[in-house]
Amino acid sequence: MSLPNCPKCHSEYTYEDSGMYICPECAYEWSTAADEEKNESLVVKDANGNLLQDGDSITIIKDLKVKGSSSMLKIGTKVKNIRLVEGDHNIDCKIDGFGPMKLKSEFVKKN
């Protein structure tokens, strides 16, 4: 089971203690129950209508221009261990060779 990244500083080094998630980098603490409730109410579907969940693997189905960069994300790029978030770009992930990225679910398909 992987723990969620810190919602404040996005650190991946969080740990769990007595029903709370704790970030050792910024000392932010939040409830594990609140995190589970948030994920249960969030419904995100890929381009084919498949339900996405935290930790899923996806593939990009369209070449995507990256704002502020001269490079592009190519069709067929595989992304592992996604995290669902609220907002317009509802997938938070790290892409090998590119770095942290937010994607729209309409441009991906579930593996």
For 20-40, how does the pLDDT look when each residue is reduced to its tens digit (9 = 90+)? 899 999 999 988 765 555 555
Measured distance CA(41)–CA(100) in Å, rounded: 24
For 92-102, how does the pLDDT look when each residue is reduced to its tens digit (9 = 90+)? 999 988 889 99
For 33-80, how does the pLDDT look when each residue is reduced to its tens digit (9 = 90+)? 655 555 556 788 999 999 999 999 999 999 999 888 888 999 999 999
Per-residue model confidence (pLDDT) at position 60: 96
- As a whole number, mean pLDDT of residues 84-110 equals 92
Say what the pTM is.
0.62
Measured distance CA(20)–CA(105) in Å, rounded: 29
Residue 6 in this model has a pLDDT that exceeds 60: yes
> Using alpha carbons only, what angle is made at residue 20 by residues 26 and 15, rounded to the nearest 5 degrees?
60
Three-state SS for 33?
A: helix
- As a whole number, mean pLDDT of residues 9-15 equals 91
Measured distance CA(107)–CA(104) in Å, rounded: 6
Three-state SS for 56?
A: coil
